[in-house]
Structure formats: structure tokens, C-alpha cells
Amino acid sequence: MVLSVRYSPEAREALQQLPHRAQQQLVMAVWVLASDPRLRGTIELPGEAAELVADRRAWVGSDYRVVYDVYDDVSRLVVVQVAHRDGVES
């Protein structure tokens, strides 16, 4: 089952500030995560970090990361943060 995808206002704004090619890569990666949010290679953030930021983190290419929450009860993936690897918390 594919989860519905939502972006936080901060993630949406950050995505719009990135180069077009990076935007495309990140959007495609999020859709892949929507079909398998616990995909091999994604990282579950430790308890303290998850409380502050989100549940999971995934690399997109070698330069970008997506930080997101998974809500299985409502079949939703919420992108909390999208950024260059140097600008991602945790």
C-alpha cells in the first residue's frame, strides 16, 4: 500500500529553493519512500532525535537528505525536512 505524502511548510519551502534537478530527485525519492517508508538504507533516528525532528532519515543521491515521519495508522508519510546533507539536523 502506498502512503499519502504531505510536506511540512518548511520542507516545501526548502524544496522550492533547491536546484530543479535536486527537486526532481527528492520528489521521486519521497514517492519511493511512500511505497516503502522503511526501505533498506533509511535510518531510524534515535529516540531523543526522533522526538525533536522526525522518525527517519534517508539519503537522496550523495548530497541531499529527507527527514520524515511515518504514520501507519492513517497511511501517511510527512516530510519534515529536505536539505543538503550539511544542513540537516541530526
Give the C-alpha separation, 60 to 1, whole Å: 22
The residue to which cell 502512503 is assigned:
3
pTM score, two decimals?
A: 0.82
Is residue 53 over pLDDT 60? no
Q: Per residue in 23-35, pLDDT tens?
A: 999 999 999 999 9
C-alpha 44/C-alpha 69 separation (Å) is 10
Please, what are the domains in the chain?
4-85 (3.30.2310.20)
